[in-house]
Structure 1
């Protein structure tokens, strides 16, 4: 009987141990979900472009000589009229002196000619009087023929002397004008020995070193003005029509006539910028219209650049607002995944079960993206924990609320925002730092998004 009781206890204990070793399924994974933001968004034309300095001028020598001084440092900001170089001046000082001497001599010759003219004029008057007297006497046979002929000769000689003096004065005047012109040219050449900045801006390094001989026309350096700065880009003929129609929609003929292209804002982003942190305005539309060979229309925008964050010659991204889309559905781009099948998001239904939605996307607005098709505005989309969620499996969902996206202005000329650019640069650095981890997380998300065998 005792043995039987022991056997029963062993059986009971064994049964308890087997019950405690049974598999316990883990709790549903935790995810964060939110319904999409539904709002009116600005539609854009997006193209690539290139920045260009508003002003660019080559600094060139205008006279020949040895380069004596260089009065700037590379990359220095210079003002229009600043003396940048000094060319040897001795030769041009001598030319000035020679021109002044020639001018003085010509002016002295004019004075001599004036005195000669005065004397000759007196002699002409006297000889004319004598001629008239002798003629009257000769007509009355009161004088000899030789006396009359002598009076005629004296009169003619006086007139010839006057004409000669006047000719000498004309020659002296011509010499003075020539000497004056030579002096003015000498003064100009001397002034050109100080090479001045033709515009204000930043100057490059010098192309000719001190002590070298420069010729008239030698390229010495270049000055570039980068504030403000241009961005050149082109849009297709279809985009041009879209922009025109969107901008003139609902306007009257008089409003169309008064339409100012500078009212169209333009946004710019550099290669490493997140988004478009620089704001400017359209500045020029090619007046020749659409290029028939390329089918594009050339445009130019202008941007304030006080801190010179935008350099000339940069390849940039351009965004121009062309219209508005009402009731657009937006999600954080991190909620969107992609695999070999296509682009998708994971949603959680009313029973907290994960489902996959195939979608198409539209324009991006910061870290948000438009969901063009495939998603209802009322559906809860997985934002955090995508890698833990599997279609067909339950989850524990925590609801959060997404904030609307701040849209850029459609019409009001925007103001440049260096602070925004700084923030974008910081965000870009953070994105770069996280880039290495992103592929692993995305791969996990794609694996988790595939339906499980059990489902």
Structure 2
């Protein structure tokens, strides 16, 4: 009985021990997870505490430091680049599209038919007028010349005999020793033979001319292109191109002028007889040659509204090549002693174009201006500013009337008055194209510049 009672107790004790062991293992497994959770909670709490401590200092205007920084930023002068308005000369220049066209361009063709016996030139060679280029077989034409020489000699002998007979018959007629009809017939025989001799002379001249045409000569001086026919081929009259001869020096450029600029150009041509013109490459980056314009076409092309002009260039270095596209810079006039300023100083507002002028107290004032023509990065100012005024050319985005400014060049001592060189700024070229002058409308005002308030039009 005791043993039976003891066994259940032992089983109960074993079961309790097993449960404790299981609980201990589970607790051991959960301990690292709890530790990680506690660490994360601690980090979050520390972050919240730091955020709460630092937040007042980050607020603008709430904390002491925020208000001080905001005040300093509001009172800090804006760094700007400036240029001085000065006077100078402004060229009135039109940029027009043109094509290089040789003054003389000759396609050399065969003037007689025959086999090509010689080619005397090298492709690309410069030749003079009268130089022999090619030779067509002259032997058949020489034979024709010889034939007509013989025919002419025989007919001339017959004519001379007929004239002698005619003189004899005329003498006999006066002596009544021959019939009148015989004398008259002899006179007509002389006239007939005179016509025959003249015909023979014409045929001989034609034969000699054909013989001369066997020698293909350069009609003008210039550069010979690629030959059209090789030696040994048979060429025919008027249908075979032997070579192309192009006059390179001088050479011309044909360009078109818009009709709204025609009156100004005609007036200047009438006054000075010629206008200077420069040929630039198709990218309008490098000047190739300089020449002059002396003539323009006699009518306007109604399909384009333009008139053609011809510029003549010496082309001694032959940098201008036939059919090359170029930009022709035509100098129409030069304006003297006008006010100039850099084009990047111009801004655009509701009342038109204006500039920021730096005052003696280092503040800026708005001046509405009236502009003239523009060339490259310089614009003519007709009114609104005075010579010696300093205008802002760089750093205008945040300016308002009365804004304080600072000029870094003055601080470093590198300012050049009137040079137009401002703080680092890349200026674009405002070279006029298609003959359109940028009068009163330079296209360089930044779009994000705040316009001046209405009514602030000092200097207008």
1:91 aligns with 2:140: yes
Aligned partner of 1:239 in structure 2 is 261
Measure the CA separation in 2 of the matches of 1:276 and 1:330: 25
Is 1:73 the counterpart of 2:94? The answer is no
Aligned-residue CA RMSD (Å): 4.5
Deviations 1:130-169 (A, max 9, x none): xxxxxxxxxxxxxxxxxxxxxxxxx43xx34433433333
Cα gap change, 1:182 to 1:338, in 2 (>3 Å): farther
Query: Normalised by the size of structure 2, how large is the TM-score?
Result: 0.60
Change in 2 beyond 3 A, CA 1:388/1:363? closer
User: Which string of whole-angstrom CA distances, capped at 9 and with x for unpartnered residues, describes residues 323-369 of structure 1?
Assistant: 627533233x7x67999xx9999987656689999999875556645
Q: How do 1:96-175 residues align onto structure 2 when only pairs under 5 Å count?
A: 96-125=145-174, 128=176, 155-156=178-179, 159-175=180-196
Number of the residue aligned with 1:207: 228
Match of 1:47 among 96, 108, 127: 96
What is the CA distance between 1:197 and its match in structure 2?
Answer: 1.1
Q: Mark the CA change 1:170 to 1:337 in structure 2 (over 3 Å): closer, same or farther.
A: same
Q: Determine the C-alpha separation between the residues in 1 that align with 2:347 and 2:101.
A: 38
> 1:227 maps to what in 2?
249
Q: 1-side partners of 2:264 and 2:212: how far apart? A: 55
Tell me if the contact between 1:204 and 1:223 (Cα under 8 Å) persists in the aligned partners.
Answer: yes
- Checking the alignment, whether the CA contact within 8 Å between 1:275 and 1:366 is kept in structure 2 is no
The range that moved more, 61-70 or 172-181, is: 172-181
User: For residue 429 of structure 1, what is the aligned residue in structure 2?
Assistant: none
1:364/1:78 Cα in 2 relative to 1: closer, same or farther (>3 Å)? farther
Q: Would the aligned equivalents of 1:67 and 1:213 in 2 still touch at CA under 8 Å?
A: yes
8 Å contact from structure 1 (residues 32, 382) kept in 2: yes
Alignment of 1:267-278 (within 5 A): 267-274=278-285, 278=289
Structure 2, gaps ≥5 residues long: 1-68, 421-445, 451-460
Q: Deviations over 1:411-443 (max 9, x none)?
A: xxxxxxxxxxxxxxxxxxxxxxxxxxxxxxxxx
Q: Is the 8 A contact 2:113 2:235 kept in 1?
A: yes
Return the offset for 1:66. 0.9
**What 5-or-longer segments of structure 1 have no aligned partner?**
1-22, 130-154, 249-258, 405-445, 451-455
C-alpha distance in 2 between matches for 1:270 and 1:362:
28
Structure 1 residue 91: Cα displacement: 0.4
Shift of 1:185: 0.5
CA–CA distance in 2 between the matches of 1:169 and 1:53? Answer: 56
Give 1:306's aligned residue: 316
Q: State how far apart, in whole Å, the 2-side matches of 1:93 and 1:303 are.
A: 45
Aligned counterpart, 1:286: 297
| In 1, Cα distance between equivalents of 2:347 and 2:138 | 73
Cα distance in 1, alignment partners of residues 78 and 123 from structure 2: 62
Map Cα deviations across residues 211-240 of structure 1 (whole Å, 9 max, x no partner).
111111132222222322222233333222
Q: Distance in 2 between matches of 1:270 and 1:375?
A: 37
Structure 1 296/32 Cα, relative in aligned 2: closer, same or farther at 3 Å?
A: closer
Question: 1:389, 1:395 within 8 Å by CA — same for their partners in 2?
Answer: no
Contact 1:261–1:283, Cα closer than 8 Å, also in 2: no
Aligned partners of 2:81 and 2:395 also within 8 Å? no
* Alpha-carbon distance in 2 for matches of 1:244, 1:107: 64
Q: 1:337 to 1:241 in 2, by over 3 A?
A: closer
Q: Which has the higher contact order (CA 8 A, sep 6+)?
A: 1
Q: Kindly indicate whether the alpha-carbon contact (under 8 Å) linking 2:255 and 2:328 is maintained by their aligned counterparts in 1.
A: no
Change beyond 3 A, Cα 1:327–1:370:
closer
SS in structure 1 of the partner of residue 135 of structure 2: strand
User: How far is the alpha carbon of 1:298 from its aligned partner?
Assistant: 3.1
- Looking at structure 2, the residues matched to 118 and 215 of structure 1 have their Cα atoms a distance apart, in angstroms, of 50
Instruction: Please say if residues 74 and 203 of structure 1, whose CA atoms lie closer than 8 Å, have aligned partners that are also in contact.
Output: yes
